[in-house]
Structure 1
């Protein structure tokens, strides 16, 4: 599986297909027993999450878990970034405004909604100026109105040149976002194509869409 620079790719498949495991391997939370992982032309197989983050790979998780006792703003101070205090403060405030969190900047993170927690997690990832962002189910548990905002945010981030790989069970989100879709089943890539091509493929219907 490949994600090209600036591309926005969807990764779908039934539960247990290996989607989140793939993200864990790419971001160093799991070590592969075979195969290679390359990024920007270099072999990064087996590197730890901190090394991969410094290379420009960022990720979010299925369940966002910010530091609940800290404010939204204070959570943004957690990433280790090479900025001075003034530049860091400016970047934090810019990201919070772009991701519609500026009005809750002083709220404790355990007081904001589930969708806002996902946006906060994404904002923290963006503090590191990643070249590749891996999103694990950004729509899960998010109300429809906020989901529309998240979709537009993902499009805007991608339009700025950041490559994005999205795992998502909501096919309307995949259809809206992704130029190319990869389908996994039992740890294997069984199909790659446009959403329309994937939707009409018999292997995908059998494995993921229930033959409909």
Structure 2
């Protein structure tokens, strides 16, 4: 998993509450078990019309936000079903940080496991960042995970909280498999000892 240390990028404003996982990636795209290729269908029903043409007014279809790496959204982001495809689609599009007043628990935890930093901030701070994001490519937001700060293009700084273990995993680029592999030597030693003690197993 790619490490997350410091990110400076364009933020896309999506001022909607209760954005659920079916809105993030509709159910017809859940057939794959690959983590790549879903970015093109991120927010599919809002990005495209019935003929598959882009809807120009949707934020991620606007030229200034096509390279967005940060998403600023409304409360209860990621609610609905627990599909892990939702963070897969967000990451595959290129978004590495989502800022909102609150998140659904399962989605929030799935973000960390897939290299995305979800940041919950008070509504008034999200409102400031939403206005910042509305400036488009002219304003870049910096997210510093080590310092746990968000800095606007005007120099305004907000601090955020993050679980220390989840922070460690993002900084080091450790997903669940990598965490297990960190214990590979201990696992091998246990298996060797267990095999010697019970060779019939």
TM-score (norm 2): 0.33
- Tell which has more relative contact order, 1 or 2 (C-alpha 8 A, sep 6+): 1
